[in-house]
Amino acid sequence: MSNIAQDIELVQQQIIAAASAANRDPIEITLLAISKTRPVEDIRAAISAGQEHFGENYLQDALPKIHSLKDEFPALCWHFIGAIQSNKTKDIAECFDWVHTVERLKIAKRLSDQRPQGLDPLQVCLQVNISGETSKSGIMASEVMQLATDVRSLPRLRLRGLMAIPAATDDIAQQRQAFAKLRQLFEQLNQQGFQLDTLSMGMSNDLESAIAEGSTMVRIGTAIFGART
Ligand SMILES: *Cc1c(COP(=O)(O)O)cnc(C)c1O
């Protein structure tokens, strides 16, 4: 087995252990392999280990990979997790299944308008700036309800949940605190009648904390594909 296939198994075991520690069913947690900057051969190695969900940050890097695998592996599910510029929405709406980084209504409208009729609605998460740093992307907690309400009415999008990239820290208590904030926002939306099922949170360094706080989708790059150069 390649290292990548082995590492996927290790991460899956980590997910199972973290779910078990949190009294959760691991089936609720989807492993999203973040293949940004990786060659298509690495994605093939992951596919051979049964991996179907892949996340990409950079459109120009992602499109050739998606196109070269599409016919052979139609079941793959592609997630866009990078910053979105207006001139990129058409390609994103046509080539991806999910977008985790919706933070502006204008972009959401373009994605909805440009989603091809022959495809299922685009599955989206709103990105929340949970650590409150002005330099980080994502909307503030206070803006979540309004954007969720607006996005919910767009016909070709399906609002699935919330996503965050908290400030990096090795302090477990701080990791958990940030993820708990996102979970609370998610619960508030559902109490207001939204039917969200996705909390996209947790990366290679903090997936245990994220799962303890309710993550349903962990986004793992380094622990599967090695350090990015
Ligand atoms: C790169 C990236 C990841 C993966 O991070 P690792 O630390 O390599 O696991 C997850 N989410 C987003 C938004 C990323 O850009």
Closest atom, ligand 1, to C-alpha of 100: 13
Task: Give the model's confidence band at 229: pLDDT under 50 very low, under 70 low, under 90 confident, else very high.
Answer: confident
Cα dihedral 172/177/182/186 (nearest 10): 110
Q: Which domain holds residue 94?
A: 3-225
CA dist., res. 30 & res. 49, Å (int): 15
Q: How many CB atoms sit inside 10 A of residue 63's CB?
A: 16
Phi then psi dihedrals of residue 101, to 5 deg: -120, 40
Tell the residue nearest (CA) to atom 11 of ligand 1. Answer: 219
SS3 (DSSP) at 111 = helix
Q: How many domains does the chain have?
A: 1
74 Cα–ligand 1 center, Å = 24
Tens-place pLDDT, residues 76-99: 999 999 999 999 999 999 999 999
- Determine whether the shortest distance from the Cβ of 204 to ligand 1 is under 6 A: yes
223 Cα–ligand 1 center, Å = 10
57 Cα–ligand 1 center, Å = 9
The mean pLDDT value for 178-191 works out to: 98
203 Cα–ligand 1 center, Å = 6
220 Cα–ligand 1 center, Å = 6
Task: Give the model's confidence band at 2: pLDDT under 50 very low, under 70 low, under 90 confident, else very high.
Answer: confident
The mean pLDDT value for 31-57 works out to: 97
To test the pocket of ligand 1, the residue of 96, 219, 224, 228 to mutate (highest count of ligand atoms within 8 Å of its CB) is 219
CATH number, domain containing residue 12:
3.20.20.10
Picking from 163, 144, 149, the residue whose alpha carbon sits closest to that of residue 203 is: 163
Rounded to a whole number of angstroms, the distance between the first and last alpha carbons of the chain is: 23
- Determine whether the shortest distance from the Cβ of 57 to ligand 1 is under 6 A: yes
6 Cα–ligand 1 center, Å = 19
The mean pLDDT value for 189-193 works out to: 98
